[in-house]
Amino acid sequence: MELEVRHLRALCAIADAGSLHKAARQLGMSQPSLTTQLRRIENSLGAELFSRERTGCRPTLLGHSVLSRARPLVAGMAVLVSEARAAADRSAGPRLRIGSTASRALAGWLRRLRERLPGTDISLQMDVSGNALLRQVAAGGLDVAFVHEVEGCPLRVPPGLDRRVLVEREPQFISLARDHPAAGRPVVELADLASDRWMIDPTVDGEWDGLRRVLSEAGLNPPVLHGDYLTASSLIAVGEAIAPCQPTSVPRDDMVVRPLRDDPLGVRLLLFSRPGAYEGAGIASSGAGADGAGDGPGGAEVYADLEAAYREAALQAGVYRQWLMRNKSPLLHAPAA
């Protein structure tokens, strides 16, 4: 078997994700397919590239050597494809390619951007992995990425990207069945959830590590289920699990959203872009933006739309609005025009 770029891309994804399961999700394929592909690659090279451990996959010495040569080839191919596509698309008019992890602010942000940029082709790509989105921004496949960074689990930010901080620390709330014993309390004690089954999506960068750290610091070791959050919602509704959630989450008839005492779980909300990314959307981009970002006036406008959309989503979520009021958050007040 001859190695192809797709094989090298798979090796890089496994190394970055640290597990076959996470890498398969990022690559859009099943774990058995990726496992088979890795086995064929290793057979063709005559040795193992990753050691399989209970906690994931780690590159062997040969693996590190192969990865050191594979990464520049994969990055170079990504740049080649991106530049070729950009050249082909220049005549098609302005465009803005957005990547994002899940957020209630997205709908309002897209609405504002379409009003601000009529005639601009605005696309959206969702991913559970903020790291994967940042790699795409760096490679030119996306112009901007709105991502969250779990506290204590920093994102791997490629060099050269501009950054703006939307929210320095957003508390993570908890989703419970409406008949859960703690559902009637305005604030839930972490210790009261010790016997519950927690559900977490391990493919979301840092989320499992962040929760495990918080539970360990609280002296708790509850049973944990791994799965996506669509499945989690079904289990939460019937009382089979609880799960962390964004504070902007809107409660359902069969579920409630509550803050945790002292807000032990938190994330930082960030907007990343490539220098000059907004020029392709028909926005002038020059000078330096906030937070040391060099995206200039154009980036400030796109950021302002995101900020307004997030504030709108936050104030529509009653439990989060109450939390913001208790903590005298500046989010309660729109900035002066």
**Which pLDDT tens digits describe the chain residue by residue (337 residues)?**
788 889 999 999 999 888 898 888 888 888 888 999 999 999 999 999 999 887 788 999 999 999 998 988 888 887 777 767 666 665 566 889 999 999 999 999 999 999 988 888 999 999 988 998 999 899 888 999 999 999 999 999 998 899 999 999 999 999 999 999 999 999 999 999 999 999 998 888 899 899 999 999 999 999 999 888 778 888 999 999 999 999 999 878 899 999 999 999 999 999 999 887 776 666 654 444 445 444 544 678 899 999 999 999 999 999 999 999 999 888 887 765 5
Give CA–CA dist 123/142, Å, rounded: 9
Q: Is 103 exposed, middle or buried (0-12, 13-18, 19+ CB in 10 A)?
A: buried
Sequential DSSP letters for 25-70: HHHTS-HHHHHHHHHHHHHHHTS-SEEEETTEEEE-HHHHHHHHHH
Give CA–CA dist 256/179, Å, rounded: 9
> What pLDDT was estimated at residue 92?
60
pTM: 0.75
Comparing CA positions, the residue from 331, 177, 200, 335 lying closest to residue 265 is: 200
Contact call for residues 188 and 323 (beta carbons, < 8 A): no
Give CA–CA dist 192/261, Å, rounded: 11
Give CA–CA dist 325/322, Å, rounded: 5
> What pLDDT was estimated at residue 331?
82
> What pLDDT was estimated at residue 89?
60
Q: Which residues contact 191 (CB under 8 A, 6 or more apart)?
A: 218, 220
Give CA–CA dist 314/289, Å, rounded: 25
Sequential DSSP letters for 132-157: HHHHHHHHTS-SEEEEEEETTS---P
Instruction: Give me the residue label for tokens 């995101």.
Output: 306
Phi and psi torsions of 240, nearest 5°: -85, -15
Contact call for residues 215 and 292 (beta carbons, < 8 A): no
Query: How do strand 50-53 and strand 56-59 relate by DSSP bridges?
Result: antiparallel
Comparing CA positions, the residue from 174, 201, 153, 154 lying closest to residue 264 is: 174
Give CA–CA dist 76/54, Å, rounded: 33
Contact call for residues 113 and 96 (beta carbons, < 8 A): yes
Comparing CA positions, the residue from 242, 268, 269 lying closest to residue 257 is: 242
Stated length of the chain: 337
Contact call for residues 16 and 156 (beta carbons, < 8 A): yes
